[in-house]
A and B are shown apart, each in its own frame.
Chain A
Amino acid sequence: MATTASGTDYFTIEVIQQALAAMGDEMFTVLRRTAHSPLIFETLDCAVGATDANGEIVAMGNGITGFLGTLDAAVRDVITKYAKPGNIAEGDIYILNTPYEGGGSHLSDVSLIMPVFDAGRIVGYVVNKAHWTEVGGMDPGSVTTKSNEIYQEGLHFPNVRLCERGRMNDAVIEMIRANVRMPDMTIGDMWAGISALRMGETRLKTLIAKYGRVAVEDAMVKLLDYGEAMARRELKKLPKGTFRAKDYLDNDGLGNGPFELMCAITITDDEFICDFTGSHPQVTGSINATFVNLCSRARALFRAVTTPHVPTNGGMYRPLKVICPPGTIVSAMPPAACSTYFESAIMALDIMWKAVAQVIPERLSAGNLASTCQLSIGGRNPKTGDMWMMFGPFVGGWGAERDHDGGRGQFSAANGQTFNVPVEITEARYGIEVEQYTFHTESGGAGEFRGGNGVHLDYRIVADTATLGTGIGRYRYPPWGVAGGRDGTCSYAKVIHRDGSEEIYGKESRIPLVKGDLVRLSTATGAGYGDPRKRSRARIESDLKNGYITAEEARQTYGIEGLDVSAQ
């Protein structure tokens, strides 16, 4: 039977690999269930994992697609920065959130890293990264569209020891407490991350105690090779050539824009190269993404077209190469503002997708909302003085496929196991009432297969005053259709005042609201696939009966007359 060089048998390797996967799931559950930030426990804006001693991912539990490249980079940053032998000790925990290195994204996403030792030797690392709701900075909730340099965006942890040989570094904790608006929540998130690390450390040590260090290390090596083999196998099946796309980012939150993004994907038998050369230089506003985030998005796209159902490990990315000169909007350098980096990062994913959607239709749908469609509404409780802050991503429409309509009301591809906040919980927590949460029928997304409907979500302000922030992408450039399918609709936020006056917003901060104002979020309807005139009559009748399209759209876009079905 097949054994490894050190003599571990095939089945033992398989059993250890299963235990590693279970460990990833378990750390993820602990982090999610003990966290204090809604962005962690509801939105699952977090990831957990374990690496081998070199920082290659061997287990990962993640809730969103965006953190794929960040955990290993964080571990490698610890390995590099503390390279001197003996510098990394058992019981250490490192904390970092700098966007420009170490797998950082924006200051709100904080990584915690812990080495795991066996008999004085590092066997691997456990690591997690999560969006803490408050890390200080110029605006409540820390995420802002108003910053123009990183110093305005919150506390910066430059890869320092939060815990040294098992002893918590109280100075760091006190600094956090003093610099954030909701210290209990922030410190609660910190403990949730530590809890997950400790769980992972115990599990890895148990595994070593049972099978021996050599067997566990062999299992890690084999797992990485397996990931690589699976990815290469699928890579060979992809169409070869260079495929290009470009698109525009609307705005940087400070009134500048649009900004062009360019991508060329070259697929060969052995490599998948994503080249962003020519993209717009980094900008003044906070939408800059750093190179490591660009790599994360490239990993997500590569996974989607090769191995969407193989559990994550570092080996599968070996054929992937990302090229981008430093200093662009997707490879920003210090001190670029990065607070709303995710909008550029999502668009980077979206244009890679756009470049190959037509040639890999078996894996990819047409364009979708491609934005987290963030809204933040906050205020103070007049009785208690407590601050409340509703903040989160919202659902919209996905693009159609070559043989199927697009998904209605789901989170963007940058999200994933992200849960919307129930209306009943929103109303209990915040000074707002929800008046509708429904699919809209704004015209767009037509095709032989239709893009999925976006939603209308109406928030009535019942607090005396409140402040609105919007971080909405694709409010000028709609989701893109494929093969004759029409583009989708644009996302936007509309404020309707008591006197009936209205304003429309894309990316904006600090919009004042008063009691009685209505905030309507309209999220994009996804793009269509194929010529609308080819859509079957039965489907159009069903669309009308269910109120997914209007009678006018049925006539004008689909060319259907004399329908006797009335919309319900």
Chain B
Amino acid sequence: MIRVATDIGGTFTDLAWCEFNPATGTVGPVHDWKCDTTPGDLAAGVMDVLSQAKISIPDVGFFAHGTTAVINAISERNGAKVGLITTKGFRDVLEIARGNRPDLFNFRFRKPPPFVERYLRREVDERANTRGEVARPVDRKGLAELVAFFKSEQVEALAVAFLHAYANPTNELAAIEMIRELWPEIPVVASHQTTREWREYERTNTAVLSAYVAPVCRRYLAGLETRLNTAGLKKSPFIMQSNGGVTTVDRARANPIAIIESGPASGVLGAAALAQAMGRPQTIALDIGGTTAKCSLIDGGKPTITTDYYIEANRENPGYPVKTPVVDIIEIGTGGGSIARVDEGGKLHVGPQSAGAIPGPVVYGRGGTRPTVTDAHVLTGRIDSTKVLGREGRADMAAVRAAYTELGRAIGAGPEETAEGVIRIADANMENALKLVSINRGYDPRDFSLVAFGGGGPLHAATLAAALNIPEVIIPANAAVFSAWGMLQTDVRSDHVRTATMRLDSVDPAEAGRLFADLEAEAQAGFTSEPEARVVLERAADMRYRGQEHTVRVTLPSGTVDTSQILDWAERFRQAHDRLYRIRLEVEVEVVTLHLTAYQPIAKPKLIERKAPPASSDPARTGKRQVRLGGVTVEVTVYDRTRLVPGMRLDGPAIAEERGTVIIIPPGHKAEVDGFANLVIRTGG
């Protein structure tokens, strides 16, 4: 039997697979393959990569799939024409949004337009109150008129968002039931299906976006399933979600927004799984690609999940909130393709503008003229100019040097010096992002390992780790297809959330216990189609000091909720708050939102450690080259990563090359290939 994971990225579609013997539980080594992503028809690229790797689809016993179909539909604005139905008096909530203007001094500020124009935002008489009681049922006649109107407008999907539906979804359920009777084929998403947290704008927008991508996502999933079935796939594929777990195709269809960040989530999940196997519960995942660097902190072996997630938000744009559980990732606009420029005041900026895939860095010779981070790596000798992907032996070094000469002129520095300076600025950007997920949240980087992947991760990781006193960097063996590799390590997962404010000094423990029991029943019900496996449940809550608004997520114990457990909840919160903000108060603690995570473990390839005695790395040596590191040019030993085997040791300054990336081991750092074939760099931090 074969276990397969495919991950569609912006440029490549990645495949990772391994043999698995269900009788013995043994797994073979993980193999990988890449082919070009096929933007017009994403599923075609999946079939390409499977056929190029000669996968026998009838032998596949587990198929996990991550896709950019949802985020693409949103960023390219080619989703559905959506109709929105709200509580009477509130159709403009979607456009008013939160009224904020992050671009403070832009007195021609324009807020991002809503995904539903005003004439397609319609109201119906209904109301629930803050206690979760239905004050007025849905006006069925009014709703029927709206459905007729939306039919005449030929909308392609509907969203329903009523006030206080987080507390009581009765009216939303009645509305979607009636819509399904009147118009069975229209996709309809109710706000409570996307999140059970309060804040009507955020919930409404999430429902709208889920409806916006629903038809595209349905078509995509149906097409993929049909092709895989035709090719002989016996078990239905699993779809990777943003929360770091997979789900069934049916559930992905019901709330497609939940798969919006599947690729980045599986990279973080891979880092967590790898680190767990290595006995490293505290890790930071660092994924550097062409346009961005992403990092995420993994505490106790588990990725952190957040629902405080926005798309398209930046310093100037409030973006759009999506209240779906997403692996907590900080993303910054610095990657290999980031363009370096000097502004009129003489200040150097690296990113967020990117040369992208077209024209790409200068060295690619596709018409790029503006110096990028990748060009700086080439000019300083970190990347061998003769081995640039796609330009082997034909890299235009004169053009790269010219671009950096021009840039350096503005600041009075030579081209190599400027190129190294650009790498320093890029490193500083990334260092600040790593601080955001660690030091700023009260974690000491010295307790962590850095797992680096993506094309740029291994180039920057050791320098960043040293700057932050992170003692160890792990460059995984499957670094180039790490997201797909991560997907092989996943479980079926669902997250359940309920806003229910409770003051811990006066709460009835039985009531709190009942709320968790409801969530647990809801979670169990979602797994009935896969009866063979047990379900693991984990509790957490967002809590705050009474009087505060913002909350801190705290993991809670399982078992009966009683008075002593409630005291434990409060203490866990106080400790978490103190770690984050260095303030501990003897003020009453309040629960705002309960969280339940349900996993259904899938048997996965067990990572096998092949311990080996220390060995010389000489057999993997390919030569030496001059590299500019730390302001001076030094001679660096170069190795072929594919010939590095467990037990081999290398001393910095050294470089290990593999297809798609380069690993830098700076002077003074030592590296070793461990029993999992990872290259582990000790920074001496």
**Residue A229 lies at the interface, judged by CB distance under 8 Å to chain B:** yes
Choice from B92, B95, B202, B417 contacting A1 with Cβ under 8 Å: B417
List the B residue with the shortest CB-CB distance to A567.
B119
In the assembled complex, the Cα of A481 lies from the Cα of B347 at a distance in Å of 39
List the A residue with the shortest CB-CB distance to B93.
A437
Query: Could you tell me if B92 and A26 are in contact, using CB atoms closer than 8 angstroms?
Result: no
Given contacts A415-B101, A428-B198, contact A409 B583 (CB under 8 A): no
Query: Could you tell me if B106 and A191 are in contact, using CB atoms closer than 8 angstroms?
Result: no
Query: Could you tell me if A547 and B163 are in contact, using CB atoms closer than 8 angstroms?
Result: no
In the assembled complex, the Cα of A264 lies from the Cα of B201 at a distance in Å of 42
Query: Could you tell me if B105 and A36 are in contact, using CB atoms closer than 8 angstroms?
Result: no
Query: Could you tell me if A363 and B108 are in contact, using CB atoms closer than 8 angstroms?
Result: yes
Query: Could you tell me if B89 and A418 are in contact, using CB atoms closer than 8 angstroms?
Result: no
Which residues from A are CB-within-8-Å of B344?
Answer: 229-230, 233
Query: Could you tell me if A10 and B581 are in contact, using CB atoms closer than 8 angstroms?
Result: no
Query: Could you tell me if A26 and B101 are in contact, using CB atoms closer than 8 angstroms?
Result: no
**Residue A117 lies at the interface, judged by CB distance under 8 Å to chain B:** no
For window 379-418 of chain A, which residues contact chain B by CB distance below 8 Å?
395, 398, 401, 404, 407-411, 413, 415-418
Choice from A22, A411, A428, A547 contacting B101 with Cβ under 8 Å: A411
> What is the minimal beta-carbon distance from A451 to any residue of chain B, in angstroms?
13
Choice from B198, B343, B440, B549 contacting A424 with Cβ under 8 Å: B198
In the assembled complex, the Cα of A11 lies from the Cα of B429 at a distance in Å of 13
Query: Could you tell me if B96 and A408 are in contact, using CB atoms closer than 8 angstroms?
Result: yes
Query: Could you tell me if A419 and B98 are in contact, using CB atoms closer than 8 angstroms?
Result: yes
Query: Could you tell me if A1 and B107 are in contact, using CB atoms closer than 8 angstroms?
Result: no
Which residues from A are CB-within-8-Å of B90?
Answer: 423, 436-438
Query: Could you tell me if B129 and A433 are in contact, using CB atoms closer than 8 angstroms?
Result: yes
List the B residue with the shortest CB-CB distance to A368.
B107
List the B residue with the shortest CB-CB distance to A229.
B345
Which residues from B are CB-within-8-Å of A62?
Answer: 104
**Residue B111 lies at the interface, judged by CB distance under 8 Å to chain A:** yes
For window 499-518 of chain B, which residues contact chain A by CB distance below 8 Å?
501
Which residues from A are CB-within-8-Å of B440?
Answer: 26, 29
Query: Could you tell me if B345 and A226 are in contact, using CB atoms closer than 8 angstroms?
Result: yes
Query: Could you tell me if B92 and A191 are in contact, using CB atoms closer than 8 angstroms?
Result: no
In the assembled complex, the Cα of A64 lies from the Cα of B101 at a distance in Å of 9
Query: Could you tell me if A10 and B99 are in contact, using CB atoms closer than 8 angstroms?
Result: no
Query: Could you tell me if B417 and A229 are in contact, using CB atoms closer than 8 angstroms?
Result: no
Query: Could you tell me if B199 and A409 are in contact, using CB atoms closer than 8 angstroms?
Result: no
> What is the minimal beta-carbon distance from B416 to any residue of chain A, in angstroms?
11
**9-residue interface stretch from B383-391, B420-428, B646-654:** B420-428
Query: Could you tell me if B107 and A413 are in contact, using CB atoms closer than 8 angstroms?
Result: yes
**Residue B279 lies at the interface, judged by CB distance under 8 Å to chain A:** no
Given contacts A303-B105, A364-B108, contact A38 B549 (CB under 8 A): yes
List the B residue with the shortest CB-CB distance to A30.
B581
Which residues from A are CB-within-8-Å of B103?
Answer: 308-309
Which residues from B are CB-within-8-Å of A51?
Answer: none
Which residues from A are CB-within-8-Å of B163?
Answer: 423-424
**Residue B585 lies at the interface, judged by CB distance under 8 Å to chain A:** yes
Which residues from B are CB-within-8-Å of A455?
Answer: 92, 96
Choice from A18, A35, A398, A415 contacting B428 with Cβ under 8 Å: A18
**Residue B412 lies at the interface, judged by CB distance under 8 Å to chain A:** yes
Chain B proximity mask over A285-314: 1 for CB below 8 Å, otherwise 0: 000000000000000100110011110000
Query: Could you tell me if A14 and B108 are in contact, using CB atoms closer than 8 angstroms?
Result: no
Query: Could you tell me if B548 and A398 are in contact, using CB atoms closer than 8 angstroms?
Result: no
Choice from B118, B198, B316, B425 contacting A11 with Cβ under 8 Å: B425
**Residue A195 lies at the interface, judged by CB distance under 8 Å to chain B:** yes
> What is the minimal beta-carbon distance from B346 to any residue of chain A, in angstroms?
7
Chain B proximity mask over A228-244: 1 for CB below 8 Å, otherwise 0: 01100100000000000
List the A residue with the shortest CB-CB distance to B122.
A568
Which residues from A are CB-within-8-Å of B199?
Answer: 422, 424-425
Query: Could you tell me if B345 and A230 are in contact, using CB atoms closer than 8 angstroms?
Result: yes
Given contacts A184-B587, A423-B200, contact A410 B104 (CB under 8 A): no
Size category, A interface:
35 or more
Query: Could you tell me if A407 and B92 are in contact, using CB atoms closer than 8 angstroms?
Result: no
Query: Could you tell me if A437 and B587 are in contact, using CB atoms closer than 8 angstroms?
Result: no
Size category, B interface:
35 or more
List the A residue with the shortest CB-CB distance to B344.
A233
Chain A proximity mask over B477-499: 1 for CB below 8 Å, otherwise 0: 00000000000000000000000
In the complex, the number of residue pairs spanning A and B with C-beta atoms less than 8 Å apart equals 214
Query: Could you tell me if B100 and A1 are in contact, using CB atoms closer than 8 angstroms?
Result: no
Query: Could you tell me if A427 and B129 are in contact, using CB atoms closer than 8 angstroms?
Result: yes
List the A residue with the shortest CB-CB distance to B435.
A22
Query: Could you tell me if A10 and B421 are in contact, using CB atoms closer than 8 angstroms?
Result: yes
In the assembled complex, the Cα of A333 lies from the Cα of B316 at a distance in Å of 37
For window 140-164 of chain B, which residues contact chain A by CB distance below 8 Å?
163-164
**Residue B607 lies at the interface, judged by CB distance under 8 Å to chain A:** no
**Residue A100 lies at the interface, judged by CB distance under 8 Å to chain B:** no
In the assembled complex, the Cα of A264 lies from the Cα of B348 at a distance in Å of 37
Query: Could you tell me if B166 and A404 are in contact, using CB atoms closer than 8 angstroms?
Result: no
In the assembled complex, the Cα of A22 lies from the Cα of B164 at a distance in Å of 38
**Residue A545 lies at the interface, judged by CB distance under 8 Å to chain B:** yes
In the assembled complex, the Cα of A398 lies from the Cα of B107 at a distance in Å of 9
Which residues from B are CB-within-8-Å of A65?
Answer: 104-105
**Residue B110 lies at the interface, judged by CB distance under 8 Å to chain A:** yes
Query: Could you tell me if B345 and A233 are in contact, using CB atoms closer than 8 angstroms?
Result: yes
> What is the minimal beta-carbon distance from A220 to any residue of chain B, in angstroms?
14
Which residues from A are CB-within-8-Å of B545?
Answer: 36, 188
In the assembled complex, the Cα of A83 lies from the Cα of B428 at a distance in Å of 37
**Residue A2 lies at the interface, judged by CB distance under 8 Å to chain B:** yes
For window 575-634 of chain B, which residues contact chain A by CB distance below 8 Å?
580-583, 585, 587
**Residue A15 lies at the interface, judged by CB distance under 8 Å to chain B:** yes
**Residue A179 lies at the interface, judged by CB distance under 8 Å to chain B:** no
In the assembled complex, the Cα of A433 lies from the Cα of B89 at a distance in Å of 12
Query: Could you tell me if A411 and B99 are in contact, using CB atoms closer than 8 angstroms?
Result: yes
**Residue B401 lies at the interface, judged by CB distance under 8 Å to chain A:** no
In the assembled complex, the Cα of A310 lies from the Cα of B582 at a distance in Å of 31
For window 413-472 of chain B, which residues contact chain A by CB distance below 8 Å?
413-414, 417, 420-421, 424-425, 428-429, 432, 435-436, 440
Query: Could you tell me if B118 and A409 are in contact, using CB atoms closer than 8 angstroms?
Result: no
**Residue A272 lies at the interface, judged by CB distance under 8 Å to chain B:** no
Residue picked from A14, A395, A424, most chain B C-beta under 10 Å: A424
Query: Could you tell me if A14 and B130 are in contact, using CB atoms closer than 8 angstroms?
Result: no
In the assembled complex, the Cα of A468 lies from the Cα of B475 at a distance in Å of 62
Query: Could you tell me if B421 and A416 are in contact, using CB atoms closer than 8 angstroms?
Result: no
Choice from A41, A227, A413, A423 contacting B550 with Cβ under 8 Å: A41
**Residue B91 lies at the interface, judged by CB distance under 8 Å to chain A:** yes
Query: Could you tell me if B428 and A410 are in contact, using CB atoms closer than 8 angstroms?
Result: no
**Residue A131 lies at the interface, judged by CB distance under 8 Å to chain B:** no
In the assembled complex, the Cα of A424 lies from the Cα of B86 at a distance in Å of 14
List the A residue with the shortest CB-CB distance to B420.
A11
> What is the minimal beta-carbon distance from B503 to any residue of chain A, in angstroms?
11
> What is the minimal beta-carbon distance from B118 to any residue of chain A, in angstroms?
4
Query: Could you tell me if B98 and A188 are in contact, using CB atoms closer than 8 angstroms?
Result: no
Query: Could you tell me if A309 and B101 are in contact, using CB atoms closer than 8 angstroms?
Result: no
Which residues from B are CB-within-8-Å of A546?
Answer: 117-119
**Residue B102 lies at the interface, judged by CB distance under 8 Å to chain A:** yes
> What is the minimal beta-carbon distance from A209 to any residue of chain B, in angstroms?
12
Query: Could you tell me if B424 and A32 are in contact, using CB atoms closer than 8 angstroms?
Result: no
Which residues from B are CB-within-8-Å of A36?
Answer: 545, 547-548
For window 333-365 of chain A, which residues contact chain B by CB distance below 8 Å?
353, 363-365
List the A residue with the shortest CB-CB distance to B167.
A424
Choice from B99, B119, B200, B420 contacting A395 with Cβ under 8 Å: B99
28 residue pairs of the A-B complex, CB under 8 angstroms, read A1-B412, A1-B417, A10-B421, A11-B425, A14-B428, A18-B425, A18-B432, A19-B428, A29-B440, A30-B581, A33-B550, A33-B580, A184-B587, A188-B547, A226-B345, A407-B109, A409-B95, A419-B100, A420-B99, A422-B199, A422-B201, A422-B202, A425-B199, A427-B130, A433-B129, A438-B92, A547-B119, A568-B118
14 more A-B contacts (CB under 8 A) besides A229-B346, A424-B163? A32-B550, A35-B549, A64-B104, A304-B105, A308-B104, A309-B103, A395-B96, A409-B97, A416-B104, A417-B102, A417-B104, A423-B93, A424-B130, A427-B129
Q: Give the 8 A-B CB pairs with smallest separation, nearest first.
A: A436-B89, A409-B96, A568-B119, A308-B105, A395-B99, A546-B118, A11-B421, A1-B413
